[in-house]
Amino acid sequence: MKINISSNKTAPLKSITENIDTRYADSLVTVLISKKEGSMTFIAGKPPLCSYCTFILDTSSTHLKDAQFSIDGSFVKQLPYYFNVDEDIELNVHTLSSSVTSIELIHKDMKSNENALRRCECVDVYEEHLTYLKESSQRLTYPVPKASLERVIYESSERMPFEFLEMNVDKQHCRIQRDGDVEEVHLPDNLELPASIVLTEEINRKLNYLCKNTESDVIEFVQQGELLTFKTPETTLTYSLAGVEEFFSKKPLKFTHEKHVVVNFYELKGEVSHCSAEYKTIKKADNAFLYLSGNEAVIAFITPPYEFVHPITVTETCSETKNSESLYRFSLKALLGINISDLTQAASTRLDILKYENGERKLGVYFSLENTLPHRTISIEKDESQLPKVVALLEELNQSQADTNTLNKKQEVQKDLFGYIMGKEEEY
């Protein structure tokens, strides 16, 4: 059989081959060929996390026969890359009287300008793939306009990072789990879904790819336990939601805003990064301090033999007790794990000290000043054992700067006076 898959079907094929895990020696892809339909179906993955797509073959395909067989996953995973983007995928399926024996293709290697013959032997059909296909076709799904799912992708992307994100249409809330903790906000306005949906970051990314590469205006989905399935006319994808039951059982922790400040996150992270990279003792101790008082924010390191304080530019503060001094201890590694590129306003980033009902505190870092929930949180502890030391270091720094300013001002006066005297002398 000569099989020809049109070049415009490469994207749906990639959405399937991406899920082939070649770490397993028995990673198989099942292939079904229908003479009547003039189609070819690929089924990949380990049940129940399978995916499949069906292609209507180009009319240049010849000698089609009904066939079903399985083939090595590594070979199929490379298919989209053996042909140029605008080139049809051409395969030759060799058959005996009773079964398929091999699939081969001609790989036009653009790097060496030499063609290669690539052939792979087939094996008996993987029955569990056929079972998945049958069960998938019988599964009740919810059709939803692609535009609605694109809105889901946008809203969830705005709330990254997260482990789970649920958009619950019954309770009209959006639940987000970050770092094991769950928070709730109201479901975004005008977001219409036929049923609730739960996403992980990985599923969100793959759903975005699916939306961009389907011509259909409607996508079907269904969640069953820890499985989430999406369907388009060409493709069906099933993903894992392992751990979702624990996510459902968690109650959102209530918290209060103990402190609020808007700072330059470039400066803050830059100081932490510098001390972590250049001082092994500080890096090993993994302890830094955040000092907050009125309109002051300071990063401090009290790690013998070092005592460092570095004020950070503050653009806004609205703590309830503005003049109160507080010192918090946090992990360097945790803060350095927050990417500045993820923040839309890194030069003016909102930081909140969040105190939860269980007594735990977290430093909330917000994606933008308008967000109601933090973009990332890291654990932070109120530790005022070093507060007198930090205050004393700040007083020394302020006094040193004041002395420098006084000296500079005195020198300026002397310079002006000298200029005045020289000018008078020239008059005479």
Q: 47: cis peptide before it, omega within 30°?
A: no
List, as one string, the DSSP characters of 338-384.
Answer: S-GGG-TTGGGEEEEEEEETTS-EEEEE-SSTT-SS-SEEEEEEE--
Q: Answer whether residue 149 shows pLDDT above 80.
A: yes
Q: Answer whether residue 92 shows pLDDT above 90.
A: yes
- Residue 73: its pLDDT value, please? 92
**CATH match of 255-389 with 3.10.150.10:** yes
**φ, ψ (nearest 5 deg) of residue 214:** -120, 140
Please state the rounded mean pLDDT for residues 171-178: 90
What does the mean pLDDT of the chain come to? Answer: 87
Question: Chain-centre distance of CA 406, in angstroms?
Answer: 51
**pLDDT tier at 420 (50, 70, 90 boundaries)?**
low
Tell which CATH classification among 1.25.40.10, 3.30.1240.10, 3.10.150.10, 3.20.20.70 matches the domain 140-249: 3.10.150.10
Secondary structure of residue 414 in the 3-state scheme:
helix
Secondary structure of residue 192 in the 3-state scheme:
coil
Q: Answer whether residue 33 shows pLDDT above 70.
A: yes
Per-domain residue ranges for the chain? 2-135, 140-249, 255-389
* Fold (CATH) for 2-135: DNA Polymerase III; Chain A, domain 2 (3.10.150)
* pTM, entire model: 0.67
- Residue 320: its pLDDT value, please? 52
Domains 140-249 and 255-389 belong to one CATH topology: yes
Q: Answer whether residue 186 shows pLDDT above 90.
A: no
Q: Answer whether residue 294 shows pLDDT above 90.
A: no
Q: Answer whether residue 243 shows pLDDT above 70.
A: yes
Q: Answer whether residue 411 shows pLDDT above 80.
A: no
Please state the rounded mean pLDDT for residues 40-59: 91
**φ, ψ (nearest 5 deg) of residue 288:** -135, 160
Q: Answer whether residue 424 shows pLDDT above 70.
A: no
Buried residues in 134-152 as b, exposed as e (16+ CB within 10 A): eebeeeebeebebebbebb
